Amino acid sequence: MTFQIAIVLYPGMTVLDAIGPYEVLRMIPDSELRFVSNEVGPVVSDSGVLALGVTHTFAETPSPDLVLVGGSEAATTEAMANRELIEWLRAVHPTTQWTTSVCSGALILAAADILRGHPATTHWAAQSALATFGAESRPHDRIVRSGKIVTAAGVSAGIDLGLWLVGEIAGEEAAQMTQLYIEYDPHPPFDAGHPDKAPSAIMRKARLEMTKRAAKPRVPLDVATSLWRLTLNRMRDRVAARR
């Protein structure tokens, strides 16, 4: 039986959040990969230069086995306010084998009320936002599993997440073979890849730069919209449970 993998795309997303896991997950035997979004066609990434192609709509993908949602430097809140995306996540999550995220994609899962009561991780700059949606932040963990929900830290952690998932789905040998195929043997020239390691001056500059890049007029409205929809969905769920 084919194992269907749905990787969510949306305008302004960070490419490596999707492509890092894609290069790993496509090695799973008998798998079918889909890039899903509101409509088929190109989606321009956060660079404004590179575009990825949506192969299937949400409506065409009603029951994926694995869902992966990536993040963005500045467009996460817009995705959180994307009604079709959030309702699709709420609809497919009950039947997935794995529901996963990379970077601030965790906030999109949270906006769909998927992370409430679960430990989770995300990019270091977005950790504090998890509590707003009822999730438990795990800022020191690169991958956090809670049942079938698996969240990964910022951007490059998506490759680690992909390998971990291959190990769980296809076995440790398949994961090791995949790691060898892509020659994933990182030896970074610097050791500043996490707030626990980065010099304080670098942290201050990075926070300031990320704040500037994320400053958009619609962000407060997008956050308010996603929180309103989240509250409304919870109310509807309670009403439905009483029937």
Question: Do the Cβ atoms of 65 and 37 come closer than 8 Å?
Answer: no
> What are the phi and psi torsion angles at 37 (to 5°)?
-165, -170
CA dihedral 145, 146, 148, 150 (to 10 degrees): -40
Question: Do the Cβ atoms of 114 and 80 come closer than 8 Å?
Answer: no
Distance CA 232, CA 210 (A): 31
183: left (phi > 0), else alpha (psi -120 to 50), else beta? Answer: left
Residues annotated as catalytic (active site), given as ranges: 103
User: Which residues have C-beta within 8 Å of that of residue 133, sequence separation ≥ 6?
Assistant: 107, 110, 111, 113, 115, 116, 230
